[in-house]
Amino acid sequence: MGDHREFPAVAPGHCLPKTSSMSVTDSVTAVHDFRVTGYSLLDGMGVGRFVSSSTFTVGGLDWAVRFYPDGSTANCLGNASAFLYYFSREKDVRARFTLNLIENDGRLSQVTNSYMKHTFSPASDNWGFIKFIEKSKIKGSPFLENDCLTIRCLLTVTKESRTQDVETNSIVVPPSNLHQDFGNMLQDGEGADVTFTVCGQLFHAHRCVLAFRSPVFRAELFGPLRENATECIKIDDMEPMIFEALLHFIYTDTLPDNCKDGKAAAMQHMLVAADRYGVDRLRLLCERKLSDAIDVETVSTTLALAEQHHCSQLRGACIRFMASPDMLGPVMLTDGFKHLVASCPLILKEVLDEVSRIWRDKSS
């Protein structure tokens, strides 16, 4: 017969002690774009030979993409191959990934290769697509622009499962909304004690907020040469939209929605404003967005801007882009390049030195 013992009786008004736990399995997802330049020079390099991306980190582990222009093995004749390599070999790791070619403007117009799942280990450190794309389909396709291909790796790394206790306290604490409160304070204008007129448009703000977020505003508003509190501070060399975005960032530490598309012209003006008022995080954010948006038409003006405002990281990204194979010629035909030659002639030597270094590395 079965065991029909009853649970011990609980006195009215008393609860049994209770604990809970749960198993948690997290994952980390990231994207890495591998730009392959000079594709026509790689075609015919031989089966099993590859070019590799730099090592990138996802989930605390090191990875790289390898592209085989003539295929990884003799069995994939007429096809290029692409593989994901795992370099952190101290433990097995489960991953889900895909490799696809993207068009020159960054769009993934069609998914040619579906997701793969694989457990990477010292014995199986690579996995991928033997028949990544037929070579005959590359030439004349939207993937090949200026003899360049870009392979996008979308990688999800599954972390080791862990067990954690579940708190019985059910009180939910919402995330911080401090930035929203400060944004509302700027929008409402309540308590504002300083006014700016920017090309005829008025902006009301709070001296203390500006001073603690910008050393330039601190000197202007509280320093020995501070503006009179009753006067309107006049700014005629900045667009109202840019000044409004600057104030928005100072109050909320975020870009306004109309600046999040990362358009080069707006980001260039924002970088100038951030540098002028010493808002370093905004300046670096603009540097990153401008670096992501570099193309033949914008690289020269962006480089001139980086040179004038001492943006070393953005400056380096521009020089590397201009020096990459088959890029310098089209760049030299733009109006921006003519402006660069006139305003920053010494920078051209560094561009040519970088071109020389790249060709030297290829020939060695």
Q: How far is CA 338 from CA 72, 202, 323, 352, in A?
A: 44, 37, 17, 16
CA distance 42 to 40: 5
Q: Where are the domains of the chain?
A: 26-159, 177-284, 294-364
CA distance 272 to 286: 9
Average pLDDT over residues 346-356: 82
Residue 69 neighbours by CB under 8 Å, 6+ apart: 39, 42, 43, 44, 45, 49, 50, 51, 80, 135
Q: Return the pLDDT at 201.
A: 93
Q: Return the pLDDT at 114.
A: 80
* 283 close to 289: Cβ distance less than 8 angstroms: no
Listing from the earlier edge strand, what are the strands of the sheet with 93-102? 27-36, 149-158, 93-102, 116-120
Confidence of residue 109 (pLDDT cuts 50, 70, 90): low
Residue 141 pLDDT > 90 = no
Average pLDDT over residues 105-133: 82
Average pLDDT over residues 301-322: 90
Side-chain half-sphere exposure of 47, counting CA atoms within 13 A = 9
CA distance 14 to 11: 6
Whole-structure pTM over 0.85, yes or no?
no
Helix/strand/coil for 302 = helix
Who wins on pLDDT, 17 or 168? 17
The owner of tokens 């919402």 is: 174
Taking only the tens place, the pLDDT of each residue in 319-338 is: 888 888 788 889 889 988 98
Q: What is the average pLDDT value for the chain, to the nearest integer? A: 87
The 3 state secondary structure assigned to 241-281 is HHHHHHHHHHHHCCCCHHHCCCCHHHHHHHHHHHHHHCCHH
Report the relative pairing of strands 20-24 and 162-166 from DSSP bridges: antiparallel
Q: Return the pLDDT at 351.
A: 83
Q: Return the pLDDT at 214.
A: 95
Nearest to 289 by CA among 322, 307, 267: 267
Nearest to 346 by CA among 304, 291, 285, 290: 304
Q: Return the pLDDT at 256.
A: 87
Residue 256 neighbours by CB under 8 Å, 6+ apart: 244, 245, 248, 249
Let me know if domain 294-364 sits in CATH 1.25.40.420. yes
Homologous superfamily assigned to 177-284: Potassium Channel Kv1.1; Chain A (3.30.710.10)
Q: Where are the beta strands (DSSP E) in 159-295?
A: 162-166, 194-198, 201-205, 232-235
CA distance 187 to 100: 44
Confidence of residue 245 (pLDDT cuts 50, 70, 90): very high
Nearest to 285 by CA among 252, 308, 323: 252
Confidence of residue 276 (pLDDT cuts 50, 70, 90): very high
* 217 close to 211: Cβ distance less than 8 angstroms: yes
Q: How far is CA 73 from CA 23, 70, 125, 152, 278, in A?
A: 42, 8, 17, 22, 55
CA distance 104 to 287: 21
Q: Return the pLDDT at 34.
A: 94
- Could you say which architecture CATH assigns to the domain 26-159? Sandwich (2.60)
Who wins on pLDDT, 261 or 162? 162
Average pLDDT over residues 314-320: 89
The owner of tokens 């998914």 is: 111
Report the relative pairing of strands 232-235 and 194-198 from DSSP bridges: parallel
Confidence of residue 215 (pLDDT cuts 50, 70, 90): very high
Residue 73 pLDDT > 90 = yes
Residue 77 pLDDT > 70 = yes
